[in-house]
Chain A
Amino acid sequence: MRYAETGFQLEVDLSKGSIEKVETDPGDTALYLGGNGMNAKLLYDRVPPGTDPWSPDNLLIFGNGLLNGTYVPGANRTSVDTIAPLNGLMGHSLMGGFFGAEMKMAGYDRIVIRGEAPDLVYLSIHNDKVEICDARHLRGKGMYDTQRLIKEELNDKRAWVAAIGPAGEHKVIMSSIDCGNSSAARTVGPVMGAKKLKAIAIRGTKDVYLAHPNELWEICSRLRKELDANPNVGDWMAVDEDDSFHHNNFSWGNARVRRKNFWSASIEEKWRNLKYDHMSRQTGCWNCPKACHNVIHWPGRQRFSYKCYGKDTFHMASFQELDFTYEILGVSQDLGLDSYSTPQVMSFALELLENGILSEKDFPEMPADVRGRFYYLLHKIAFRDGIGDVLAHGTSGAAAIIGNGAEEFDHNTVKKFEQLPIKLGKLNPAYFLMIATGEDMAITQIEGSFPQDPITDPELKEEFIRKWTAVPDKKFTEWFRNWEKRDQLSDEAMCAITDWNECMHYLDDSLGICGFVSSFRGQFGGTTGYDIWNMPEIVTHATGMEFDKDRLWECFQRNRTLIRALNIRAGLKRSWERPPEDHWAVRNEEYEQQLLSKYYDFKGWTFDGIPTKETLEKLSLGYVAEDLITKGVLTGNEVTALKDTRAKKEKE
């Protein structure tokens, strides 16, 4: 009997047309939990280095978090993972909503897609009945029509459909996979397109079992009430009308212009009215007491919902106001484009035009006004028409194709991945580490447990510390207590803080818990829903496997290290681990490199950022060590970074 998980994964090869239901090893669950951890293991075992991400040999995996489909509140996130065509590294995107829970009830912990269909298909799953269906009639259809039409075709209103739009079909790097109000937005959509898989429809009517029902129910009932009452969790952007933080501090256009005094009372009033005049309601994800999606019905447009910073990206990239986002965002989502990276790519293109690197003839019949231009580019990109065929490679990819100095304008990517448009003054060491080394690529998927800034008022600081139950070790409390200025913490503290931040995200992603009630929310107010203290007993009662704090923390370390090894094997280099050059105005290369070495050392990695044989073996990843030695990535005699002569030289 398996608890919390089903013990089965669905393996579909679209080239062969084969479908298999495969029993999994509970020993793997104990080691990797689920979600990104299990997905990484499959990618490591089955996709050899050098595999072309576009090829049929790449895998696209929809991996349930271990706790999805249970009554653990806010556990609903599915890790969608692949080797990303964007940069050849592991592409990781999270989808909330309902898809994961439905997959569990259909009897599967994950769906593993391999191969490439001869023509456009969709996968229909109803418990054990799984079919590959013709989807040629859905070619070119938007996200909303695709989901509706498939449900009608299957005559099942309760099915959940994860689909790509025209952008995904055209293998646009910024394309997303959408299901209801949720979206696996980054890096994975183009692989679904390459596999000619238009959608996966899923419906399940089986039981998901829990190991210790009374204990788990008691904890979850209490937790549900706590999350509901806790203003520090959930997405503020859905409810707080004061959005001065992003508008005054983030950069507009192609991550270019800071407008420090943009926000005003009159803007706030105007935008509040815009929102409430057009908002149908707020919606939530499976079994979560927070409702983070605002559903907008804009005149002449289909109803759509947004969450988080997706509210700002279009109008900030185009120097417009909220009404423009409300007008264009639903259109962009219907085309299946991600709202973080796409506006950046478009403003990058317009900047190239302004600077003479691209010319008017690259944009035939483009309107003169910026709004018109954004619509023009949106459609060009989604259908890879004209200049859109180049821009479909993302900012870095397009810059490389265009050349002629275009690379200089690609100034907001790390490992080719578009970052939040943040350009600040003085280096923040912990953020340097997170942005440089984060395998999840986006800072919002790494930061979150330790506060961003110190509290200077002694009373408020002590008040914060009193409520700060999430702290895994009292050393963090002491660092926080003595912390005066943002960049003034010891390097040791910076490494440990980065590690804790990462830990909570990795556990969330493998368990399925949403960062908004967990990993991302500890930094604000300190009282988040889930932490390293309450997670172990929840996992224990749900699965029946004994977990304590140390064992769960080790699962994080194992998953983190495995993903690092996977990326190293795929070609990741130390020299790639750099935040954008202008992320901070003042930089100190020497210090940054020393800090990077210290972090690698802290992690048990070599000077080149590779986990040592000893580190791998300690985490039951001996098979990875063997593989890396066979492939010549490791010799097996390496030392950790600070013991390396190159680090010693660095120090001198």
Chain B
Amino acid sequence: MDKNGKKTKIVKEIKVETRKCVGCGACEIACSAFHAVPKYSSVNTARSRIMVVMDEVRDIFVPIRAGDYTQAECNGRNRYVIDGIEYDECTFCPASCPSRDAFKEPDSGLPLKCDMCESDPPLEEPMCVEACTFDALTYEEREVEVEEETEEVKLEDLEIVFESLRKKYGLKKLKSTFSRLSKG
């Protein structure tokens, strides 16, 4: 609630300044270490939920965070030209999608999604921001008013996994596999 009694929520935002990115990959490394189980026990940037699209010859340095899983590729693609630099299609897209291998668990192929490093106790800022000593990534929290009084449904990690498995294999197959495995 804000002072006017209206319902609010906190929007967490990471500002990305691509001009400041030096391509060191510290964000990817910190992300993969933080999400390792146990925490910090391994490094594998293929498991990272942030990825720097990088090409020094073309001067492309774009950190993107993993967004939602999508079942299907887009209809048509976007190719951006900004200040004379032509970016490849999908450069700015955060989706875990069938058109590319980004943001998928390397072993299972399951989608990865940025969780802003939510943890208990909470971090001051997500790990990727903390690791970026060049301020290409900065963190902000904004309070915004919420119009309707709807409870936000927050999916747990496991639910995200099951949801994507359902989409990939169908509920029937998922159920039968699950019940078979639980018997074993």
By a beta-carbon cutoff of 8 Å, the part of chain A in contact with chain B is: 69-71, 73, 98, 101, 105, 144, 148, 157, 180-181, 204-210, 213-214, 216-217, 221, 224-225, 228, 280-289, 291, 295, 297, 302-305
Contacts and interface: CB of A to CB of B under 8 A. Distances in A.
B118 interface: no
B137 interface: no
A213 B43 contact: no
Contact of B22 (A105, A144, A207, A281): A281
Given A208-B42, A281-B22, A287-B24, 17 more contacts: A157-B53, A157-B55, A206-B46, A207-B36, A207-B43, A208-B44, A209-B41, A209-B42, A210-B40, A210-B43, A213-B39, A224-B131, A283-B23, A287-B29, A288-B24, A291-B134, A297-B59
Interface string B126-159: 0000110110000000000000000000000000
Contacts of A303: 56-59
A206 B44 CA distance: 6
Interface string B23-43: 111100110010010111111
B40 A289 contact: no
A208 B22 contact: no
Contacts of B96: none
B106 interface: yes
A71 B22 CA distance: 17
Contacts of B53: 157
Contact of A71 (B33, B56, B133): B33
28 contacts: A70-B43, A71-B33, A71-B40, A105-B43, A105-B44, A206-B46, A207-B36, A207-B42, A208-B42, A208-B44, A209-B42, A210-B43, A213-B36, A213-B40, A214-B39, A214-B40, A224-B133, A225-B133, A281-B61, A283-B22, A284-B24, A286-B29, A287-B25, A289-B24, A291-B24, A295-B59, A297-B59, A303-B58
Given A281-B59, A289-B133, A208 B106 contact: no
Across the A-B interface, the 6 shortest Cβ-Cβ residue pairs:
A205-B46, A205-B106, A213-B40, A284-B24, A207-B42, A291-B22
Contact of A286 (B25, B36, B57): B25
Contact of B41 (A157, A213, A221, A305): A213
Interface of B: 19, 21-26, 29-30, 33, 36, 38-47, 53, 55-59, 61, 88, 106, 130-131, 133-134
Contact of B24 (A144, A209, A285): A285
A208 B55 CA distance: 25
Interface on chain B toward A: helix, strand, loop, or mixed SS?
A: loop
B30 to A, nearest CB: 7
Contacts, number: 103
Contacts of B36: 207, 213
Contact of A289 (B26, B42, B55, B57): B26
A640 B133 CA distance: 50
Contacts of A70: 43
B106 A284 contact: no
A70 B44 CA distance: 9
Contacts of A105: 43-46
A288 B26 CA distance: 7
Contact of B46 (A73, A148, A204, A291): A204
A300 B157 CA distance: 51
Which of A207, A216, A286, A304 gathers the greatest number of chain B CB atoms within 10 Å? A207
A144 B57 contact: yes
A101 B29 CA distance: 10
Contacts of B25: 98, 286-287
B7 to A, nearest CB: 37
Contacts of A282: 22
A515 to B, nearest CB: 17
B57 A148 contact: yes
Contacts of B59: 280-281, 295, 297, 303
